[in-house]
Amino acid sequence: REHGRWWREGIVYQIYPRSFLDTNGDGIGDLRGIINKLDYLQALGITIVWLNPIYASPNDDNGYDISDYESIMAEFGTMADFEELLHGLHERGIRLIMDLVVNHSSDEHAWFVESRRSRDNPHRDFYIWRDGVDTPAGEQPPNNWRSFFSGSTWEKDAATGQYYLHLFSRKQPDLNWEHPPVREAVYDMMNRWFDMGIDGFRMDVINLLSKVPGLPSVPDTPPGELAWGGRYFVNGPRLHEFLQEMHQRTLAGRDVMTVGECVAVDVAEGRKLVGQDRGELDMIFQMEHMDLDSGPLGKWDIKQPWSRAELKSILGRWIQGLHGDGWNSQFWTNHDQPRTVSRFGNDSPEWREKSALALAALPLTLPGTPYIYQGDEIGMTNVAFPIEDYRDLETLNWYREEVARGRDPAALMPAIHFKSRDNARTPMQWDDSAQAGFTSGTPWLRINPDYAQINVAEAMARPGSVWHGFRELIELRKANPGLAYAELTWLWPEHEALVVFRSRHQQQNWLIALNLHNEPQTLPTELPPVELWLWSNEPLPSGPVQSLAPWQALVGQLP
Ligand code: ISL
Ligand code: CA
Residue closest by Cα to atom 5 of ligand 1: 336
**pLDDT the model gives residue 2:** 60
Structure confidence at residue 330 as a pLDDT band (50, 70, 90):
very high
Q: Which residues are near ligand 1 (CB < 6 Å)?
A: 61, 64, 101, 148, 168, 204-205, 263, 299, 335-336, 394, 421
| DSSP summary character for residue 53 | P
Helices (H) and strands (E) in the chain, counts: 16, 24
Looking at the DSSP bridge assignments, the partners of residue 557 are 510, 532
Please choose, from the candidates 420, 200, 128, 165, the residue with its C-alpha nearest in 3D space to the C-alpha of residue 302: 420
Q: Which residues of 435-450 are buried (b: 16+ CB within 10 A; e: fewer)?
A: bbbbbeeebbbbbbeb
In three-state form (DSSP H/G/I as H, E/B as E, the rest C), the secondary structure along 353-374 is HHHHHHHHCCCCCCCCEEEEEC
What percentage of the chain exceeds 90 in pLDDT? Answer: 99
Could you tell me which residues come within 8 angstroms of residue 298 by beta carbon, excluding any fewer than 6 positions away?
A: none
Gap between the Cα atoms of 290 and 333, Å rounded: 8
510-559 pLDDT per residue, tens: 999 999 999 999 999 999 999 999 999 999 999 999 999 999 999 999 99
Q: CA nearest 256: which of 484, 45, 50?
A: 50
487 beta partners: 504
Q: What single DSSP character describes residue 104?
A: B
Distance between first and last Cα of the chain: 25
pLDDT at 9: 98
Positions marked catalytic: 204, 261
pLDDT tier at 89, thresholds 50, 70, 90: very high
Task: Report whether 41 contacts 76 (CB < 8 A).
Answer: no
- What 31-36 contacts at long range (C-beta under 8 Å, 24+ apart), as own/partner pairs, is 31/72, 31/76, 31/77, 31/78, 31/81, 31/82, 31/84, 31/85, 32/77, 32/81, 34/85, 35/81, 35/84, 35/85, 35/88
CA of 63 to the centre of ligand 2 (A): 15
Select the CATH number that applies to the domain covering 485-558 from these four: 2.60.40.1180, 2.60.40.1930, 3.40.50.300, 1.10.260.40. 2.60.40.1180
Q: Which protein residue has the closest C-alpha to ligand 1 atom 3?
A: 336
Q: Domain 110-165 classified CATH 3.90.400.10?
A: yes
Distance from the alpha carbon of residue 24 to the mean position of ligand 2, in angstroms: 5
The pLDDT value recorded for residue 1 is 44
pLDDT in tens, 145-161: 999 999 999 999 999 99
Residue 35 has pLDDT above 90, yes or no: yes
Contact 262, 285 (CB under 8 A): yes
Distance in Å, CA 339 to ligand 1 centroid:
16
Q: Give the mutation target among 18, 148, 165 for probing the ligand 1 site: most ligand atoms within 8 A of CB.
A: 148
Which 3 state secondary structure label does DSSP give 393? helix
Nearest to 499 by CA among 366, 395, 385, 335: 366
Within 10 angstroms of residue 306's Cβ, the number of other Cβ atoms is 17
ipTM attached to this prediction: 0.98
Q: Are 284 and 326 in contact (CB under 8 A)?
A: yes
User: What pLDDT is attached to residue 185?
Assistant: 98
**Ligand 2 centroid to residue 428 C-alpha, Å:** 13
**What is the tens place of the pLDDT at every residue in 259-312?**
999 999 999 999 999 999 999 999 999 999 999 999 999 999 999 999 999 999
Domain covering 5-103+181-204+258-386+426-474, topology: TIM Barrel (3.20.20)
**Are the C-beta atoms of residues 439 and 24 closer than 8 Å to each other?**
no
485-558 has the same fold as 110-165: no
pLDDT digits (tens, 9 = 90+) for 170-181: 999 999 999 999
Mean residue pLDDT of the chain comes to 98
Domain ranges of the chain: 5-103+181-204+258-386+426-474, 110-165, 485-558
- Name the residue of 204, 207, 284, 302 whose CB sits within 8 Å of the most ligand 1 atoms, as the mutation to test its pocket: 204
Q: What is the pLDDT of residues 201-233, one digit of tens each?
A: 999 999 999 999 999 999 999 999 999 999 999
Answer whether 96's CB lies under 8 Å from 51's CB.
yes
Does this model's pTM top 0.95? My answer is yes
Summarize the confidence of residues 500-508 as an average pLDDT. Answer: 98
